[in-house]
Amino acid sequence: EPEVTQTPSHQVTQMGQEVILRCVPISNHLYFYWYRQILGQKVEFLVSFYNNEISEKSEIFDDQFSVERPDGSNFTLKIRSTKLEDSAMYFCASNLGTGITDTQYFGPGTRLTVL
């Protein structure tokens, strides 16, 4: 069964460093998402991406964040200068794009630790 994959599973970085989290969505899906979960808190929406542009973003997704689909398979989240409070589990998701009730399929997550 097709699945969303994410790399790396764990990333440790120093405050102020740039990180890139990578995701490979399901191949025929058209909508892509990033969510994050700070330890002990809710899973929060960050951004959605469709047709090579951001379609929605939350207040969390400020200028420090960017997303890109550099080729036909990868979908990346870049944090330009990490802060301690960026430590969280980051989930990538994708859906087919047939409608608003589409199921979003999630990857296993990347745990980011900022020291």
Of 12, 17, 56, 115, the one binding other proteins (CB under 8 A) is 56
Of 80, 103, 113, 115, the one binding other proteins (CB under 8 A) is 103
Give the contacts of 13 (CB within 8 A, at least 6 positions apart).
19, 82, 112, 113, 114, 115
Distance CA 50, CA 63 (A): 19
Q: Is 25 in the site for other proteins (CB under 8 A)?
A: no
* Three-state secondary-structure class, residue 38: coil
CB of 103 to other proteins, least distance (A): 5
Binding site for other proteins (CB under 8 A): 3-4, 9, 31, 33, 35, 40-45, 48, 55-56, 58, 91, 93, 95, 100-109
